[in-house]
Structure 1
Amino acid sequence: MPEPEQVTARLAEVEQAVLARTPENQVDPSIDAITALTELMGDPQRSIPVIHVTGTNGKTSTSRMIERLLRELGLRTGRFTSPHLSDVRERIAFDGVPISPERFVAAWDDVEPYLQLVDQRSRDAGEPVINYFQVLTAMAFSAFADAPVDVAVLEVGLGGTWDSTNVADGQVAVITPIAIDHERLLGSTVEAIATEKAGIIKSGAVAVLGQQPREAAEVLLARAGEVGADVVVEGQQVGLLSREIAVGGQLVSVRGIGGEYEDLFLPLHGEHQAHNLVTAIAAVEAFVGGGQERLDVDLVRAAVAGMDSPGRLEVVRRSPTVVVDAAHNPAGAQVVAEAMNEAFAFTRLVGLVAVLSEKDPEGILAALEPVLDEVVVTRTSSPRSVDPDDLAEVAREVFGEDRVHVARNLPEALARAVDLAEQEGGMGAGVLATGSVTMAADVRILLGVR
């Protein structure tokens, strides 16, 4: 068995090799390369049952909920989500725990020889080599098949049809609410985006549709009809029966496919998380018994009470309270604003906002403006972070001159936001850090949250 120092050194080498790949935001809208890679590997993704999750907002939370329910039911789980908050190994998890350094290295060693072959073929053809996200996808498939797990929950990275996870065929395809995002790659209309995301619905699968705008629902239902997939729609077969705010979360009752689940304590904030739970329960019902019978209610209660979603309306500090959320588009920011009003009783709330390029800063800031007294704009560790001065120009159009403050780096910005919150807020002061996943991740790291 290797010594701990050897494992640490080897892990660093592997992480560097993965990071050296083309960044995941530089997308090749094709699954040809990942298909070639997984075929050389023996298609490990086909050796395990899959629940596949896409959508615009709520994918990660819903994936984590599904995995937690499956685990409580006694199944060994694999979970692949993105992006990570502090450690790349978070993306590949077994039974809710990030993959160990030894397994991460082993997965790379399994994939790397075939990766070299596919990379060379791509170079010879003048095509892009496999990128960072695709490599991690292949590593997840290898690790899950090697374990093996009873079921893998796969979150789409981007879109659906040509996302690298789509070389797997989900027995259940989950589509969380669709909105405008990633327009350059997915299209500028809800219909176009829904068309891309509908690609994860496969023949004979069960498609579980969260709350959707009419234009998206029409596209998704048409796709299900074309491939002969069964459909479960929130608001029709399943839904949220009741919801009450509770200390540390909310108390919800859900109508599932197989029956009702009453008085579930969900330790997450926001109505959107209650709707994510509806979708998650329906997905698990469809997976384990075709939705014919209700799940054991006590097991469901235990699973729901143990659910978490790091970086999503997460309190990372008290006095003053600092909340982080990874919302990175207007629809997500709107949900966050509504949840902040509902779940927290701040007498004064200051926003700490950084946005990545190619996003909609005006839309994000406009959604947040009604709940923020002031806003501090800054940048995160991402090289794609919008320059604070440029972001400030947009913020002033939304908030006015006097409510906008600029800080060139995140530590300075967080200190400034805390000072502004405490000036008049007293014990009811709060800071909301949001605008991008890297904002949530960087603030968590800055405050020592792991």
Structure 2
Amino acid sequence: MSRTHAEIVNQLQARWPEHRVAPSQARVQALCDLLGSPERSCPVILVAGTNGKGSTATMIDSLLRALGLRVGRYSSPHLVDITERISIDGEPITTERFDELVETIEPLVALVDDQLIDGVAMTFFEVMTALAYAAFADAPVDVAVVEVGLGGRWDATNIVEAQVAVVCPIDLDHTHLLGSTVAEIAAEKAGIIKAGSKAVLAAQQPDAARVLLAQCAEVGAEVLREGLEFGLISRAPAVGGQVLRLETAEGPLGDLVLPLFGAHMAQNAALAVAAAEAFLGGKPLPADVIAEGLEQVRAPARLEVVRRSPTVVLDTCHNPHGARATIDGLVEAFDFHPLVCVVAMMADKDVDGVLSILAEAASTLVCTSIASTDRALPAEALGERAAGIVGVDRVRIAPTMAEAIDEAVRLADEAGPGAGVLIAGSVYAAGEARALLVHESPAASDRFDLVDLGEWAVGEADES
């Protein structure tokens, strides 16, 4: 009897989950060897870092497609459907193709499972990674843009010799797995930089920068650094996004429309252009390609407007570094008075740190939970943590995401036309909310004409 897509996905997700790491590349390498080494079928751009990996990878994808290349992109986690993780030509693969690929490789997965390499059967993320490389080889694609899952050194994606290794800003996250200091975490992420690769580095904290540059020196990798070889020169906020001026391989380039909010997204754009130009061997991207690639970028759940009257904005921030960038971007772009924030978080995150930052801008925190995972804090427990920070008068508790959104919208409606709602705290929460609020493809999200509101120089900014 044939299985449904949901049954196939459930069986995959019943494997060792991606938040429980079994540090080894032996299993995914064994499967890829059985598949005929699909990871070697095309050049790969690997993207690591604490925050901004997904949006940066999306921008690199868009830029290279604007150049006329066929691009595969692998990302994690997904928002609504698992097929979002594997994109070809800018679109997720179909459920039919996904299911076909799974059924094709399952006998080989079983062979690796039976070996119990390092005492563990293949994990969910390992199977998904091999599946992505197989999909890209089968398409075929000209280049794969691959977002590292966790860390870098032993991540399943890092079985390749990446032509370009991109490192987004590094901060504290997953400290129980990657290390308790920025330097220790940077050492894990530096593992994607190998001999022969070009390293494209976002602006980093000094401890992280030292580790990354030492890795580049050790393996002899060419390095491009934000603020030296490339960077954001200036930005102007605009309705629906911003207008950028970037330092590129050919010099300054302005009047670039980016339909995303926040200084962190502008810096992601500079990083993405540098990565694409590094992939071309340092050859400049044509100005019209950069303009088209950035203007066509779509990044669901990155300060995404998902409803009007009142305006509801959705974001995936889940650590203090990302929350700071999100709040700064939200205040700059929307200036809600008051702001009602729906928040749901994983129990293993810096809950108090994120809540404290969100509370700086929010008049009310509506605390809820996430139905799709048992890692989430229960709504009552999150509410207690929030009350300890802002006081019980500024906290509401809703058992489900749907009820939390309803409560937040009600509060914003009562407050008047200047009020707005932010939903944040977790990628999984953003996915649950997006499934409730958006009933169209991400490519069909709201578009707005950009209106230049003036320009100013921008210094170093945090990353979301």
TM-score by length of 2: 0.92
Letter in 1 for 2:234: S
The worse-fitting range, judged by mean Cα deviation, of 390-399 and 248-257 is 390-399
Query: 1:72 & 1:171 partners in 2: Cα distance?
Result: 20
Matched residues in 2 for 1:65 and 1:176: separation?
A: 13
Pairs within 5 Å for 1:132-281: 132-281=124-273
Whether contact under 8 Å (1:78, 1:92) holds in the other structure is yes
Does 2:287 match 1:297?
yes
Q: Match for residue 100 of structure 2?
A: 106
Match of 1:444?
A: 434
Deviation of 1:111 after TM superposition, in Å, equals 2.1
Q: Secondary structure of the residue that 1:386 maps to in structure 2?
A: coil
Q: Residues 51 and 172 of structure 1 are in contact (CA less than 8 Å); yes or no, is this contact kept in structure 2? A: yes
Distance verdict in 2 for CA 1:55–1:47, change over 3 Å: same
Q: 1:402 aligns with which of 379, 393, 405?
A: 393
Question: How much has 1:229 moved relative to structure 2?
Answer: 0.4
Q: In 2 relative to 1, CA 73–24 (structure 1 residues): closer, same or farther, beyond 3 Å?
A: same
Residues 1:326 and 2:320 are matched in the alignment: no
State the Cα deviation string for residues 355-410 of structure 1 (Å, max 9, x = none): 10210110001111111111111101222110122112211122122111111111
Given candidates 24, 28, 36, the residue that maps to 2:30 is 36
Does the 8 Å contact 1:319/1:429 carry over to 2? no
1:107–1:140 CA contact under 8 A, matched in 2: no
Q: What count of residue pairs does the alignment treat as equivalent?
A: 439
Measure how far apart 1:126 and its partner are.
6.6
Q: What does residue range 86-125 of structure 1 map to in structure 2 within 5 Å?
A: 86-122=80-116
SS of 2:417's partner is helix
Distance 1:259 1:449 in 2: 42
Cα offset, 1:14, TM superposition: 2.8
The one-letter amino acid of 1:56's match is T
How high is the TM-score relative to the length of structure 1? 0.95
Letter matched to residue 333 of structure 2: A
Q: Which amino acid aligns with 1:380?
A: I
Q: Secondary structure at the match of 1:326?
A: coil
Q: Matched residue of 2:189: which SS? A: helix
Contact 1:259 1:294 in 2 (8 A): no
Within 5 Å, give how 1:336-351 maps onto structure 2.
Answer: 336-351=326-341
In the TM superposition, residue 107 of structure 1 has moved relative to its aligned partner by 2.1
| CA–CA distance in structure 1, aligned partners of residues 395 and 99 of structure 2 | 46
* Pairwise CA distance, 1:13: 4.2
Contact kept in structure 2, 1:252 and 1:262, CA below 8 Å: yes
Aligned to 1:16: 10
In structure 2, what is the Cα distance between the partners aligned to 1:82 and 1:230?
27
Q: Say which of 20, 32, 36 aligns to 1:26.
A: 20
Q: Is the CA contact 1:316–1:449 (under 8 Å) kept in the aligned structure 2?
A: no
Match of 1:427, SS? coil
C-alpha separation in 1, matches of 2:246 and 2:214: 27
Q: Deviations over 1:185-240 (max 9, x none)?
A: 11110001000000001111100001210100100000111111000000111111
CA distance in structure 2 between the partners assigned to 1:202 and 1:40 by the alignment: 24
Q: Tell me how far apart the structure 2 counterparts of residues 108 and 415 of structure 1 sit (CA, whole Å).
A: 38
Most deviating of 82-91 and 24-33:
24-33
Bigger relative contact order (CA 8 A; separation at least 6): 2
The structure-2 alpha-carbon separation of the partners of 1:419 and 1:271, relative to structure 1 and needing over 3 Å to count, comes to same
**1:369 aligns with one of 347, 355, 359:** 359
Describe the shift of the 1:17–1:389 C-alpha distance in structure 2 as closer, same or farther (beyond 3 A). closer
How far the C-alpha of 1:440 sits from its partner, in A, is: 0.8
Instruction: Tell me the secondary structure at the aligned position of residue 243 of structure 1.
Output: strand
SS across alignment from 1:260 = strand
Contact 1:258–1:285 (8 Å) recurs in 2: no
* Equivalence for 2:409: 418
Instruction: Tell me what 1:357 maps to.
Output: 347
One of 393, 405, 430 as aligned partner of 2:384: 393
CA shift, 1:101, in A, is 2.6
1:68 counterpart = 2:62: yes
What residue number does 1:3 align with?
none
Look up the equivalent residue of 1:50 and give its one-letter code.
Answer: V
- 1:10, distance to aligned residue in structure 2 (A): 5.0
% identity of equivalent residues:
49
Distance 1:391 1:16 in 2: 28
What is the alpha-carbon distance in structure 2 between the residues aligned to residue 449 and residue 430 of structure 1?
A: 21
Q: Work out whether residues 57 and 177 of structure 1, in 8 Å CA contact, stay in contact via their aligned partners in 2.
A: yes
What is the root-mean-square deviation in Å for CA atoms of aligned residues? 1.4
Distance 2:152 2:378 in 1: 31
Partners of 1:55 and 1:197 within 8 A in 2? yes
Q: Which amino acid aligns with 2:358?
A: L
* Counterpart residue identity of residue 314, structure 2: V
Residues in 2 aligned to 1:286 and 1:111: alpha-carbon distance in whole angstroms: 33
Q: Partner letter of residue 388 of structure 2?
A: E
2:460 maps to which residue?
none
Judged with a 3 Å threshold, the aligned counterparts in structure 2 of structure 1 residues 198 and 126 are, in CA distance, closer, same or farther, namely closer
For residue 409 of structure 2, what is the amino acid of its counterpart?
A: V
Which one is further off, 337-346 or 126-135?
A: 126-135
Q: Point out where structure 2 has 5 or more consecutive residues left out of the alignment.
A: 441-464
- Which amino acid counterpart does residue 347 of structure 1 have in structure 2? H
Return the letter of the residue paired with 2:326: V
Structure 2 letter corresponding to 1:186: L
Quickly say closer, same or farther: Cα 1:445–1:259, change in 2 above 3 A.
same
Q: Deviations over 1:389-448 (max 9, x none)?
A: 211221112212211111111111111111222222x11110100000111111111113
